Structure 1
Amino acid sequence: MRKYQTLLYYCYSHIDHAEQFAADHLQFCKSLGLVGRIIVADEGLNGTVSGTPEACQAYMDAVHADPRFAKTDFKIDEVNELSFIKMHCRYKPEIVHSGLRDPKIIDPTKETGKHLEPREFMEMKDRDDVVVLDVRSNYEHNVGRFKNALTLDIENFREFPEKINELSAYKDKKILTYCTGGIKCEKASALLLKNGFKDVYQLHGGIIKYGKEAGGKDFEGKCYVFDNRVTVDVNHVNPTEVSACRTCGTNSSRMINCANPECNEHFAQCEACGWKMEGCCSDTCMAHPRKRPYDGTGYYVKVPQPVNLEKISRREVKRLTANPTLHN
């Protein structure tokens, strides 16, 4: 029996005073002994947290007890080690960065693609009138994706709206969107509908839920996750490896960041080439004067930067001004 659990979840639901909610929610998570990363926005919650089964259950119970988040779908992984080092809960403009903040353009609480449960998705995905669309970034689908899925050349989800025109040839098809846990599909499918696509679906619970409930059939490679595990196995039926080491070309799903901080590219590199290249993606980066020491992980702790007061939101400044005690 594994010692810890990791929860992946999101919920689109309006949160009043979301910045204060984020601060209070952080303290609540810490009181339970959880570690993880949660994004809070006016539009809802997006998080991955890790802790003991008891702490995770207490957290899920508390979230479900709040009417705003009562329908939150938690994906639960049993893990041997905590998936994070610290607990972060931050306020941001969106719970997934798309650049589509105006609810008059798209609002996932009102209109999205039709939700397909994993086994429904599995039954539909190979039909002739269907296109399976991966809405994730390059580094994610390069390490794992559904067989025959259409992938987009994007470095970040915020580039997705720019790719809509490239998909126009598929407007007469059923579009089945998917992502890691489902959150990106909420906005991607809504935007497709807004742009004239008539028959749009999304994999409910994403790749993670598909692996748990449908055995991960026909998902090739591994699923990229945003915690210390980096990638996880999904396919327990017909697994394959699709990711290749950047340096030597052998199959490898081991993801690292380039040791040159001015590059910092996220890419696949086998362990042997990692040591050979000192964690770099190229000879140029190996020779860079700022190259970071490579310890075999390809993971580098961010160096804290000075606070830029100009970037503090006007709302936060107003809140602090109105409540002087919050400074203490």
Structure 2
Amino acid sequence: MQIVNISAYKFVSLDDIDRLRPEMRARCDALSLKGTILLAPEGINMFLAGPRAAIDDFMAWLHADPRFADIAPKESLSDSQPFRRMLVRAKKEIITMKMPLIRPEAGRAPSVRPVDLKRWLDQGHDDAGRPVVMLDTRNAFEVAVGTFDQAVEYDIEKFSEFPQKVAEHRAEFAGKTVVSFCTGGIRCEKAAIHMQEVGIDHVYQLEGGILKYFEEVGGSHYRGDCFVFDYRTALNPDLEPSGPVQCFACRAIVTPEAQQDPAYVVGKSCPQCASAAAA
């Protein structure tokens, strides 16, 4: 049986999380779904997996709430369940940036559709003739699995480091169009709003992130795979699980080549953590 994997988010004010949390957990459990739903005053972020009928049932139930009626999840398929349990958690932010004045629902940053971004990258500039800078807002270990050609990335360990890095490099974006991107859209949306607020003039977010780009235009101008936060570890431009896996001991990304090393033991160790232990 094929498993449908969905990811979706929406920035919207939620003042009834104490009610929503158990209701969502009960609905997911009744449908035997697995994954994670994050709820915060600023909105919802979710990653769910299960049979097609169960996913469709949950989305119909979710859409009955007017606040979530326009959520359109990104989908991919797998042969097995990529999550081990179901979690519904309350948090301060659905994606932690530690910039409390940012409220995306009060006004989104401009977005660029995947098909238009591909056209910009094909022609070497945006429709106004400005050079396009692809700005990766993800953590370093995600970037290592794959990113856009010539993308700018800041080797960050967590998203809350992003604002300071942008401040340090702000002058480099003068006269250019900056397209922020991430896995599914949530981090690049917050990042784009922040960049606008600090005075960077021409900023767009990649609508739907890398996964939507893969879905609509494939892997053009992208090298490698896209890290995902489940047991598939990475998806290729066809949205299929690819070779890299994540070590459960040290969380490092283990390439197919490194998986041939005797130090790689599934669920226990990899060459990187073995080297660290020997140092």
Is the Cα contact below 8 Å between 1:43 and 1:94 reproduced in 2? Answer: yes
Distance 1:255 1:218 in 2: 25
Is the Cα contact below 8 Å between 1:220 and 1:235 reproduced in 2? Answer: no
User: What residue number does 1:143 align with?
Assistant: 145
> Which of residues 241, 250, 253 in structure 2 aligns to 1:267?
253
Deviations 1:180-217 (A, max 9, x none): 00000111000000000111101111111111111121
Deviation at 1:280, TM superposition (A): 4.5
Distance 1:62 1:152 in 2: 40
Q: Which amino acid aligns with 2:247?
A: I
User: What residue number does 1:188 align with?
Assistant: 191
> Which of residues 156, 162, 165 in structure 2 aligns to 1:163?
165
- Relative distance call for 1:276 and 1:60 in structure 2 (3 A) is closer
User: What residue number does 1:114 align with?
Assistant: 110
Is the Cα contact below 8 Å between 1:23 and 1:90 reproduced in 2? Answer: no
Distance 1:235 1:24 in 2: 34
> What pairs with 1:200-211 in structure 2 (closer than 5 Å)?
200-211=203-214
Deviation at 1:38, TM superposition (A): 1.1
| Superposition CA RMSD, Å | 2.1
Distance 1:159 1:22 in 2: 29
- Relative distance call for 1:73 and 1:107 in structure 2 (3 A) is same
User: What residue number does 1:307 align with?
Assistant: none
- Relative distance call for 1:35 and 1:282 in structure 2 (3 A) is closer
1:256 maps to 2:247: yes
- Bigger-Rg structure (1/2): 1
Higher RCO, 1 or 2 (CA under 8 Å, sep at least 6)? 2
Q: Structure 1: give runs of 5+ residues left out of the alignment.
A: 242-251, 289-328
SS of residue matched to 2:180: strand
- Relative distance call for 1:274 and 1:185 in structure 2 (3 A) is farther
Distance 2:164 2:254 in 1: 26
Deviation at 1:286, TM superposition (A): 3.5
> What pairs with 1:300-311 in structure 2 (closer than 5 Å)?
none
> Which of residues 230, 235, 256 in structure 2 aligns to 1:232?
235
> After TM superposition, which residue ranges in structure 1, 4 or more long, deviate above 6 angstroms?
none
Is the Cα contact below 8 Å between 2:263 and 2:274 reproduced in 1? Answer: no
> What pairs with 1:30-179 in structure 2 (closer than 5 Å)?
30-100=29-99, 102=100, 105-125=101-121, 126-127=124-125, 129-168=131-170, 169-179=172-182
Is the Cα contact below 8 Å between 1:112 and 1:193 reproduced in 2? Answer: no
1:215 maps to 2:218: yes
Deviation at 1:172, TM superposition (A): 2.3
Distance 2:200 2:55 in 1: 39
Is the Cα contact below 8 Å between 1:171 and 1:196 reproduced in 2? Answer: no
Q: How does the TM-score come out when normalised to structure 2?
A: 0.88
Q: How does the TM-score come out when normalised to structure 1?
A: 0.76
User: What residue number does 1:316 align with?
Assistant: none
Is the Cα contact below 8 Å between 1:19 and 1:40 reproduced in 2? Answer: no
Deviations 1:41-93 (A, max 9, x none): 11111011000100000111122221101121200112111111111110010
Distance 2:246 2:225 in 1: 11
SS of residue matched to 2:14: coil
